[in-house]
Structure 1
């Protein structure tokens, strides 16, 4: 019996009320898909009474997720209510050595809108146009440094390196110390036992180091002329210049994770998807203009952030179930992006889909990802430059995944390039 059949059988044999899609091992082992497939079919608005994160509702179908994501009047993102991830303790203090870090993604309007507006100029079309040459030059340099015909680590050499260079530019962060940003991003979303941190205390300690570093950058920028970087924008905007230190760190970490994890894992996920679907790579080489539709298809197929969480602030019915005030509600984007009622052949990677932007990976409503166009531009340039250089990127073994129910990512992916 194949591994895939065994996994499908395992997902079918668990009693429905005992299914817990928050288990990080499902993502580490890449065995989550069959559980979501069953929930979409049998119980699309599913209550899990007992998990490591307490009781929660799973919203697993595309249209139900859209209805929750766009209804911020009932489904709150406020940090004080638990924030935007399934684990309350990641967002707010508690018995696990965590710290309260509000950020605009973990706020409701109008505060959310004011703070988001402070940083949105960095991804305005005019600024993206200015960044394009910088990104292309860096992509070319990184790709030209890779050893053709030899085994190397794609995640570190390409995905992490390119996204970290971009982050350093957006923050005007000391370029030679840019890998600190990668580390802080990983620590922000880590749980003990996942291979990144050993304890909640260690996480708090490292995030305090991040806070100190960024406080120094704030102090420099707040007394200087406004610059075209994220810290200057936060320091000089009326909506954010009087933030508490915790709020500043919360927003910095939000921007680091948002700018790092999503793009980095889509850069790796695209390589993996084309390796698994060589017919699509041949199609791409025959018609490079398909990069335009392939990029959003990569973002859908990968779904770099598996979920976003809300807290109900009133009783409401979703999909025939009554969600009570105070309940934790988790929108599983990773499931909605595989909903066959909304997306044709959702499990297939198809680079010339008729409607490739019909996906949930960037969220919807007021919290739609502020940097989605920048992420797409980085992926587009990467693939334009790959096609100029390589006939194939061979993935040599199954990628090692991140143990996280939030970041759907890759820790290691050994590859070999063909000229």
Structure 2
């Protein structure tokens, strides 16, 4: 194998690499030098293939028999055999066919666009209430008070969970998803305890369904629908854990970055104020520019050539979605520029980026995420006028989710008329 040509760069699966935001320029240099690179990882002592080419990522994603999610999990960390046994057995995201196909069929039958769209009115009501709570103050901590609220409320609404439990889930998912950040989770034990709380809650939901079946999403996941057999209790508990963690944090992250990008580009924000009908298009650019999940792992299952390199069976492989989404050969010479009008001149933008992955593990929650993001932006943009940063943007320390943990902002206080 060739030596890593980027020894002077930070390790791209080291959480510290993203602690100050996305290293756009370094990623551009790597991307421009080729689609596949052999990288060292001194923190784990396990080198890996870094894949930044879209064609290569698409090929990997569509050939699970060659590039396994199950052999070592989709996360970049290293696990003991005991940990892997648990992860492999239960988490849908870490499954290969045929087990993965069964789980995916159950979820797909429940999270259809039609089913999700039926919640739009309720989601919009939640979004308006979220903005109502901060609009007259002229300031807020955007991440926790705005961006985090609708994704949590939406997931709880879908699962029939009381909204007053959302603060527990907010802290639990922070600890699970950002366990590499000492401000979000004290240590790995705290993350494990948070996971236990969510699992315990899921078991309670399953027991409640057993006693009093309801015609909701939880009921559909457990009993099945459209000819699909539902999850057993163990399968449901582990799916619920993934749904709560990934479904919440991903949309919260894109909403936070979307607001950051609009404030950094006030002319584009003003364009959307003047043209609210273009907000949906702008949301697709937000998804492209700062995708929530940075990377995913696969394990090479047989010797194979990829991107001009010879990969060996057992090699660790990392797909870097964020870099693909800035590829000039796909998105044009201005690919590294945030542009809310990109979808208007590139109508297939939603198909071109890889913010939701592709292939067998394409995100089944993509429609839900797009709906939540659009609704929030349609409520935020007309009402939080002239927003400005009121302090530094603080990013989460982690290589899985490209999150923002603190973003205080100010804006023109909303004054309601006496007639209102």
Q: Aligned pair 1:241/2:231, yes or no?
A: yes
1:5-53: CA deviation from partner (whole Å, max 9, x where unpaired): xxxxxxxxx9624642112111111252233222112243111233334
Aligned to 2:125: 137
Q: Deviations over 1:75-102 (max 9, x none)?
A: 1111xx12111113399617xxx97763
Q: Which secondary structure does the structure 2 equivalent of 1:143 belong to?
A: helix
Partner of 1:48: 39
The answer on whether the counterparts of 1:18 and 1:48 sit within 8 Å (CA) in structure 2 is no
Q: 1:240 to 1:106 in 2, by over 3 A?
A: farther
What aligned pairs does 1:171-250 form with structure 2 within 5 A after superposition?
171-229=159-217, 231-237=218-224, 239-242=229-232, 245=234, 247-250=235-238
CA 1:249 to 1:303, structure 2 compared with 1: closer, same or farther past 3 Å? same
Indicate yes or no: 2:30 matched with 1:36: no
Worse-matched range after superposition: 387-396 or 151-160: 387-396
Give the alignment of 1:14-163 within 5 angstroms: 16-17=6-7, 19=9, 20-30=11-21, 32-53=23-44, 54-78=46-70, 81-89=71-79, 93=83, 102-148=90-136, 150-163=138-151
* Pairing 1:325–2:313 present: yes
Return the match for 1:310 from 298, 303, 317: 298
Q: Which 10-residue stretch deviates more, 257-266 or 190-199?
A: 190-199
Give TM-score, length-normalised by structure 2: 0.88
User: What is the alpha-carbon distance in structure 2 between the residues aligned to residue 397 and residue 317 of structure 1?
Assistant: 48
Between the aligned partners of 1:406 and 1:45, the Cα distance in structure 2 is 19
Deviation at 1:110, TM superposition (A): 2.3
Q: Which moved more, 1:262-271 or 1:216-225?
A: 216-225
Distance 1:367 1:15, change over 3 A: closer
Partner in structure 2 of residue 375 of structure 1: 369
- Decide whether the 8 Å contact of 1:167 with 1:181 is kept in 2: no
Q: Which residue of 2 aligns with 1:258?
A: 246
Give the total of aligned pairs. Answer: 398
TM-score (norm 1): 0.88
Counterparts of 1:183 and 1:74 in 2: how far apart (Å)?
37
Q: 1:396, CA displacement in angstroms?
A: 2.4
TM-superposed CA distance for 1:201, in Å, is: 2.5
Q: Which moved more, 1:128-137 or 1:57-66?
A: 57-66
What is the CA distance between 1:107 and its match in structure 2? 0.7
Q: For 1:235, what is the secondary structure of its paired residue?
A: helix
Extract structure 1 runs of 4+ deviating beyond 4 A. 98-101
Q: Aligned equivalents of 1:387 and 1:91: distance in 2?
A: 49
Match of 2:335 in 1: 346
Q: Is the 8 A contact 1:291 1:380 kept in 2?
A: yes
247-256 or 84-93, larger mean C-alpha shift = 84-93
2:396–2:404 CA contact under 8 A, matched in 1: yes
Instruction: Return closer, same or farther for 1:103/1:374 CA change in 2, 3 Å cut-off.
Output: same
Residues 350-381 of structure 1: per-residue CA shift (max 9 Å, x gap): 11112231211100011111011111111111
Deviation at 1:320, TM superposition (A): 0.3
SS at match of 1:179: helix
Paired residues of 2:110 and 2:221 also in contact (CA < 8 A): no
Uncovered stretches (5+) of structure 2, i.e. residues with no partner: 415-420
> CA shift at 1:303, angstroms?
0.8
Say if 1:22 and 1:51, in contact at 8 Å, map to a contact too: no
Match of 2:270 in 1: 282
Distance 2:247 2:324 in 1: 23
Structure 1: segments with no counterpart, 5+ residues = 1-13
